[in-house]
């Protein structure tokens, strides 16, 4: 049985990207510590990027009891059950979404013109985070990051949130028993 295993965090990031794309928001959504300082992962029109990264320092979050314990089916695209699995824990982790927005038609020195697109992209990021995580997201505070240089390209807003994802046991293959002929000679 070949199943693609994906963490709840990477699935969450994909859902945020899909939400933004589905609403016509041209922004790149990335996951990881090394993505934030990169300039090559900008969205269309430059900047317009959201980087989601763990933000609890060296801590990895908290493990708790599974929500909705019990065996659950894994279905393929046709809706057929191909495996069974069950949650063994819930993993609550702290994240920060770094929202980098810019208005490239305006001067870098025009703070208002650079803050506005970042706020607007931040609002879209909040919407995407909320939709992708549903009840498993708790929104926190926001911070403006400000580099120690006079000229910077756009602005960056940090959005802090907590995400709870399930941890599943190893999937078990579904065995389908096909009825055969009945042996009536048993005594």
36: domain CATH number is 3.30.70
Beta bridge partners of 99: 50, 157
Q: Along the 187 residues of the chain, how does pLDDT read in single tens digits?
A: 555 667 889 999 999 999 999 999 989 999 998 888 876 655 555 678 999 999 877 788 999 999 887 888 888 888 888 888 888 899 999 999 999 888 878 777 788 888 898 999 999 999 999 999 998 999 999 999 876 555 567 788 999 999 998 888 877 765 555 555 555 554 5
Whether the model pTM is above 0.95? no
> Does a structural domain hold residue 127?
yes
DSSP characters for 10-33?
HHHHHHHHHHHHHTT---EEEESG
Cβ pair 173, 74 in contact under 8 A: no
Closest to 35 (Cα-Cα) out of 58, 21, 54, 16: 54
Number of independent structural domains in the chain:
1
> Does a structural domain hold residue 71?
no
> Does a structural domain hold residue 68?
no
């Amino acid at each position: 049985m070949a199943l693609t295993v994906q963490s709840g965090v990477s699935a969450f990031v994909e859902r945020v990207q899909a939400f933004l794309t589905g609403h016509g928001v041209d922004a790149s959504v990335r996951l990881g510590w090394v993505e934030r300082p990169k300039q090559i992962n900008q969205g269309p029109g430059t900047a317009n990027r959201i980087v989601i990264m763990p933000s609890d320092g060296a801590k990895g979050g908290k493990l708790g009891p599974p929500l909705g314990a019990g065996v659950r089916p894994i279905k393929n695209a046709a809706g057929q059950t191909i495996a069974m699995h069950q949650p063994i824990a819930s993993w609550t982790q702290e994240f920060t979404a770094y929202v980098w927005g810019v208005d490239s038609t305006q001067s870098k020195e025009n703070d208002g013109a650079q803050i506005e697109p970042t706020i607007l992209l931040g609002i879209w990021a909040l919407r995407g985070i909320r939709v992708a995580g549903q009840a498993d997201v708790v929104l926190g505070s926001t911070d403006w990051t400000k580099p120690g240089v006079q000229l910077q390209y756009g602005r960056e807003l940090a959005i802090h949130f907590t995400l709870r994802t399930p941890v599943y046991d190893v999937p078990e293959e579904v065995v389908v028993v096909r009825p055969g002929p009945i042996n009536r000679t048993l005594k």
